[in-house]
């Protein structure tokens, strides 16, 4: 059996699989087992932030794996790679966040933040938002504001409330003396790259502080320069009690983290949380290398620049293909093209694959673009040229059908 046949036979079928078997990658490019080259505009769902097979990561893995991969007694033993990573993160974390714990994934980070927020607050309710996505554990699925990810796993965890993203009045109505925390993505990624004004986030922060509730900011997708700053909330002067991270922190290596304020840390007791791989030396060495590369090379500034350039091109497409493109939105290199018709979005998604451009589709009609942060303008243009030709074909087909129906001359 070949790779695809073997996976189809033995792999639990959670996904609608793409019939492509990728063998290797370099930068934004990947190659299948037959040697065909593809452009990757998904970065492994926002993970490979400095590109595929980057020597920065490879060298960190090699050097650390020669020393030690997992500590004896795990987190009970001090670790030089963990200490170096903690020190580096102290330089980049938004204030007043000062204490960090490492996890295996973003879902684990969110799960822990919710659990600890309830414990230290002595309250039970957590308010989330419609179209949010916080993970696939039973707790984080219960906190996700999408029925398709939540309600089929009954009984879901209790004491979650949902309000429309960006609606302060609805949030104020739901917040009460039993609200332990509000969990928010500064930009909803899987929900369709939905963006709220900075003022909304500041108002939520102030409401949490006034109500004695904790604010959990989920930067699993937006963190580590994805939106043109190290974190999407940088510069907003928010009172954040928990910040959750993953994806870009390891550049493709599975590691996550959450940070808390000193105020929260003082209320956490020994035994409240833990984990076998809580900052293992290998993961910490990789994360350190990735973050240092992002910081030393000012990738945040580069992403802001190339992101603005890309959005200007896409906004022109919105004018050119206004009959089929409903809206273009994004920040940095987290970008969405939303179509009026889900069928058109699906066709664009499929035809891009046929032309060896890998994009992501979410919310049925949103094409999400989040390539490696190190993508060059020439590489971006190569991918955008393919995408433009595919969308143009959809637009022409749309008008051909209208003419056939006698709706235009």
Q: What are phi and psi of 210, to 5 degrees?
A: -65, -35
**Residue 409 within any structural domain of the chain:** no
Q: Which domain holds residue 142?
A: 55-296
Flag whether pLDDT at 292 surpasses 90: yes
**Shared domain check, 264 and 291:** yes
The pLDDT assigned to 238 comes to: 95
Q: Which residue has the higher pLDDT, 352 or 406?
A: 352
Q: Say which residues have a Cβ less than 8 Å from residue 194's Cβ, sequence separation at least 6.
A: 131, 165, 166, 187, 188, 329
**Shared domain check, 77 and 201:** yes
Flag whether pLDDT at 53 surpasses 70: yes
The pLDDT assigned to 401 comes to: 82
Flag whether pLDDT at 178 surpasses 70: yes
**Shared domain check, 238 and 116:** yes
The pLDDT assigned to 408 comes to: 75
**Shared domain check, 215 and 94:** yes
Contact yes or no for 165/129 (Cβ under 8 A): yes
Q: What is the mean pLDDT of residues 203-223?
A: 98
Looking at 296, 313, 347, the residue that finishes a domain is 296
**How would residue 277 be classed by pLDDT, with cut points 50, 70 and 90?**
very high
Instruction: Report the percent of the chain where pLDDT is more than 90.
Output: 94
Looking at 277, 296, 315, the residue that finishes a domain is 296
**Shared domain check, 285 and 371:** no
The most distant pair of C-alpha atoms in the chain lies apart, rounded to whole Å, by 75
**Shared domain check, 134 and 104:** yes
CA distances from 306 to 29, 167, 283, 375, 386 (A): 18, 31, 29, 9, 18
Residue 45 sits in a domain of what CATH number?
A: 3.90.1150.10
**Shared domain check, 279 and 132:** yes
Q: With 0.85 as the threshold, say if the pTM is over it.
A: yes
**Shared domain check, 320 and 207:** no
**Shared domain check, 306 and 196:** no
Residue 266 sits in a domain of what CATH number?
A: 3.40.640.10
**Shared domain check, 247 and 328:** no
The pLDDT assigned to 329 comes to: 98
Flag whether pLDDT at 73 surpasses 70: yes
Looking at 255, 270, 296, the residue that finishes a domain is 296
CA distances from 376 to 51, 135, 218, 302, 395 (A): 11, 31, 28, 10, 28
Q: Would you say the C-alpha torsion 298, 300, 303, 304 has a positive or negative sign?
A: negative
* Tens digits of residue pLDDT in 216-274: 999 999 999 999 999 999 999 999 999 999 999 999 999 999 999 999 999 999 999 99
Q: What is the mean pLDDT of residues 72-93?
A: 96
**Shared domain check, 193 and 213:** yes
Instruction: Report the percent of the chain where pLDDT is more than 70.
Output: 100
The pLDDT assigned to 189 comes to: 97
The pLDDT assigned to 101 comes to: 98
**Residue 307 within any structural domain of the chain:** yes
**How would residue 402 be classed by pLDDT, with cut points 50, 70 and 90?**
confident
Q: How many domains in the chain?
A: 2
Q: Would you say the C-alpha torsion 30, 36, 42, 45 has a positive or negative sign?
A: negative
Flag whether pLDDT at 310 surpasses 70: yes
* Tens digits of residue pLDDT in 142-173: 999 999 999 899 899 999 999 999 999 999 99
**Residue 28 within any structural domain of the chain:** yes
The pLDDT assigned to 1 comes to: 87
Flag whether pLDDT at 36 surpasses 80: yes
* Tens digits of residue pLDDT in 8-19: 999 999 999 999
The pLDDT assigned to 409 comes to: 67
Contact yes or no for 236/198 (Cβ under 8 A): yes
* Tens digits of residue pLDDT in 334-392: 999 999 999 999 999 999 999 999 999 999 999 999 999 999 999 999 999 999 999 99
The overall average pLDDT reported for the chain is 96
Contact yes or no for 247/109 (Cβ under 8 A): no
Measured CA to CA, the distance from residue 336 to residue 285 in angstroms comes to 33
């Amino acid at each position: 059996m070949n790779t695809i046949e073997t996976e189809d036979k033995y792999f639990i079928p959670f996904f609608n699989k793409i019939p492509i078997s990728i063998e290797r990658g370099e930068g934004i490019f990947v190659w299948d087992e037959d040697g065909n080259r593809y452009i990757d505009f998904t970065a492994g769902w926002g993970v490979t932030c400095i590109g595929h097979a980057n020597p920065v990561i490879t060298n960190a893995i090699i050097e650390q794996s020669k020393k030690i991969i997992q500590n004896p007694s795990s987190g009970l033993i001090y670790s030089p790679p963990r200490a170096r990573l903690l020190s580096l993160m102290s330089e980049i974390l938004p204030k007043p966040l000062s204490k960090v714990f490492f996890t295996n994934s973003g879902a684990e980070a969110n799960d822990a933040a919710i659990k600890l927020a309830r414990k230290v607050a002595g309250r039970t309710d957590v308010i989330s938002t419609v179209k949010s996505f916080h993970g696939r554990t039973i707790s984080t699925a219960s906190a996700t504001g999408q029925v398709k990810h939540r309600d089929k796993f009954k009984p879901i965890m209790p004491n979650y409330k949902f309000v429309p993203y960006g609606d302060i009045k609805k949030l104020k109505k739901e917040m009460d003396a039993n609200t332990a925390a509000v969990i928010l993505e500064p930009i909803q990624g899987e929900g369709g790259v939905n963006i709220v004004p900075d003022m909304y986030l500041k108002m939520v922060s102030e409401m949490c502080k006034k109500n004695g509730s904790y604010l959990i900011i989920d930067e699993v997708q937006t963190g580590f320069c994805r939106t043109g700053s190290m974190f999407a909330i940088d510069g907003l002067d928010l009172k954040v009690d928990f910040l959750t991270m993953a994806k870009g922190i390891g550049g493709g290596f599975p590691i996550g983290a959450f940070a808390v304020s000193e105020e929260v840390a003082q209320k956490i007791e020994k035994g409240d949380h833990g984990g076998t791989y809580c900052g293992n030396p290998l993961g910490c060495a990789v994360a350190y290398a990735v973050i240092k590369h992002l910081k030393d090379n000012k990738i945040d500034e580069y992403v802001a620049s190339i992101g603005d350039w890309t959005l200007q091109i896409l906004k022109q497409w919105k004018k050119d293909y206004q009959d089929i493109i409903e809206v273009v939105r994004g920040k940095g290199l987290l970008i969405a093209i939303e179509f009026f018709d889900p069928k058109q979005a699906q066709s664009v998604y499929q035809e891009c694959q046929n032309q060896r451009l890998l994009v992501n589709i979410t919310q049925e009609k949103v094409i999400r673009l989040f390539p490696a942060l190190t993508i060059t303008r020439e590489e971006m243009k190569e991918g955008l040229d393919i995408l433009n030709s595919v969308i143009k074909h959809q637009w022409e087909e749309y008008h051909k059908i209208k003419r056939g129906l006698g709706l235009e001359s």
